[in-house]
Structure 1
C-alpha cells in the first residue's frame, strides 16, 4: 500500500467534474467501507502504539510517524462495532487522515483498493436509518454496498470541537442588529457539521436554511428564482461543504455560477478537505471564498465581514 497514494496530487483534476476517488477498506467483517482519497495522507502497516492514560477506549494509542505524534482510533469501535483484538493490531493497517485541521489515524483490518466514482452514484443513507448510524453516504460497486462513514461524527465524539463563540466575537456581533438580514443557506451532508454551523450563525443573530447536499440546494435555488427573482432576494449568502452525495460542492458552485439568477449569490466553500489545491479549485469553479473547518470564531467573523460589505 505504500505506493498506492503516490499519484494523489494528480487526482485533483477529478474535482470540479463531480467525481471522486474512494479508498476502500474493511473493518472486522465482510462489509466494505470507503473514504475520500483527498482526506488520506498515508496508508501503512500499523506501527508500534504507545498508550495514552485516561483516553477513550476507541483511541488505541498514539504513533510517532514522520515527526508527528498521531492518535490512532479504532474505527470499528468508534462506530459501535467489534474492536480489533490487541493481538491483531500489529497486522492491521492505519489510514492517516487530515480532518478539520487535525491529523489522526484510523485503525482498520484491511485496505483494498482505490476506485474512481461519480458523486451522482454516491447516495444519502437510507431514510429511517436513525441518528445513531455513522453513515454519511452509500454507494454500490460490483453489486456490493459500500458504506461511507460520517467521520466528522466520529471525531466529534472522540475529540469534540469547541462550538461556542468567544465573548469578544459575541460582543462584536451585538453591535449590529442582524435580525432583518436574509437567511444563509447552509449545505452539508454531515448532520454534526450542520448543527455546528447553525449554532455558530444563530449565536450572531442569523437565520439558517439547511440542505443535505448540492442537488437539494440547487433545486431549492432554482425553485425560488423560477419567478425571475435573484437568489440574493432570498439568501444573504451560501455556505457549502465540498464532499456531498449526488452533487459535490464544486459542481454546485459551477452550476450556480452558470445561472444568471443565482450567479450573484456569495458562495463560501467550507470543508474539512485539506491541500493547497483548494484555493486553485475555488478560483476554477468561481466560488467567492474558502474556509477550512471548523473554527466558530473564524466562521462568525468572516460571515459578519461579508454581510457588512454587502
Structure 2
C-alpha cells in the first residue's frame, strides 16, 4: 500500500462524476471501515513515537514525517471501541490531511482501495453505538463497510474556537439579508453545527440538508411551490463528500437548471485546498472554504452576499 497515492491524476477524474475511491481498513477485528482516498497522503508501518505529556487519551504520541510533527491517533479508541491491541508487525498508520492539518490514524491493517459511486454510499441507520461516529455506510461483497466521521473525531480531540468578534459582521449587509434562507449541506453533524454557530448571528433562516440529493430534492420542492429562490435564497454552502450525491454533482445539477443556475454556491470541505480550487472552477462554484475556519467563513460568506446584492464588485 506504500504507493496508495501513485495514481492521483486518475482519481481526480472521478470527481464531478459522482464517484469516489475508498481506502478500506480494519481496527483489530473483522469489521471493515473506510475513508476517502483523497484525504490520504500515505500508508505505512507504525514508526517510533514520542509520548507527549498531557496528550489527549486517544493520541498515542507524535512522530516526525517529512519535516512535520504528526500526531498519531488510535482510531479504534477515538470511536469508543477501546484501545487498539496490535503487534508491532501489524500496526499501520494512515497519514491524512483534514482541514489543512496533517494527522495519522493508527489502524489494525489496511485492506484495499475500492472505486464506488456516491449513490452506493448511504446515510447510517438510526440507533446508538458506533453510528455516532459514522457519516455513511456502504456494502462491498455483501459486507457492510462503515465510513467514519473523521471531522467529529478531530473536533473531539482539539475543539474549534468559535468565539467570533462582532466586528467581523457587516451590520448594513445583515439588515438586508435578515430572515432570508441559506441552505447548508453536509453529512457531518459536527460540520453543520459549526456552520450554524457562524451563520446564526447573521439573522438568516438556516435550512439544513444531510447530502446533495436531499438538498437537490428540497430545491425542486421549493420550485414547485413557486418560491422566489432568486431573492429568498441568498446562498448554498455545500460539502464535497456526501452520500447519494456529492457537492460537485449537486453544483453541476444546479448550474444546469435555468431557474437555479444563478444561485451563489460555496464549496466547504476538508479535502485538499489546491485540488478543490481546481474543482470549484470546473463545476462552477462561486467560492471555496477549507473546513473549519470560522473567521474565513464569516468573511467569505458576507463578501459573496454583498456581490449578490450589488453592494460589492466581484473579485477577479
Structure 2 gaps of 5+ residues are 309-316
1:84-95 equivalence runs, <5 A: 84-85=84-85, 88-89=87-88, 91-95=90-94
Deviation at 1:76, TM superposition (A): 0.1
Q: Which residue of 1 aligns with 2:155?
A: 156
Q: Which residue of 1 aligns with 2:268?
A: 270
Map Cα deviations across residues 13-42 of structure 1 (whole Å, 9 max, x no partner).
Answer: 000000000000000211000100011011
> What secondary structure is seen at the aligned counterpart in 2 of 1:55?
coil
Determine if contact 1:174/1:204 at 8 Å carries over to the other structure.
no
Structure 2 length-normalised TM: 0.92
Determine if contact 1:204/1:300 at 8 Å carries over to the other structure.
no
Q: Which residue of 2 aligns with 1:142?
A: 141
Structure 1 length-normalised TM: 0.94
Q: What RMSD over aligned residues (CA atoms) do the two structures have, in Å?
A: 1.8
Q: Which residue of 1 aligns with 2:236?
A: 238
> What secondary structure is seen at the aligned counterpart in 1 of 2:233?
coil
Q: Which residue of 1 aligns with 2:314?
A: none
Determine if contact 2:186/2:211 at 8 Å carries over to the other structure.
yes
Distance 1:131 1:33 in 2: 11
Distance 2:134 2:53 in 1: 30
Deviation at 1:229, TM superposition (A): 5.0
Q: Which residue of 1 aligns with 2:95?
A: 96
Q: Which residue of 2 aligns with 1:27?
A: 27
Deviation at 1:305, TM superposition (A): 1.4
Structure 1 gaps of 5+ residues are none
Distance 2:73 2:97 in 1: 13
Distance 1:173 1:89 in 2: 58
Map Cα deviations across residues 236-267 of structure 1 (whole Å, 9 max, x no partner).
Answer: 11000000000000000001111111111111
The aligned length equals: 308
1:48-197 equivalence runs, <5 A: 48-85=48-85, 88-89=87-88, 91-129=90-128, 133-170=132-169, 172-173=170-171, 176-178=174-176, 180-197=178-195
Distance 1:48 1:128 in 2: 38
Determine if contact 1:73/1:105 at 8 Å carries over to the other structure.
yes
Distance 2:110 2:173 in 1: 52
> What secondary structure is seen at the aligned counterpart in 1 of 2:13?
helix
Q: Which moved more, 1:242-251 or 1:230-239?
A: 230-239
Determine if contact 1:123/1:139 at 8 Å carries over to the other structure.
yes
> What secondary structure is seen at the aligned counterpart in 2 of 1:14?
coil
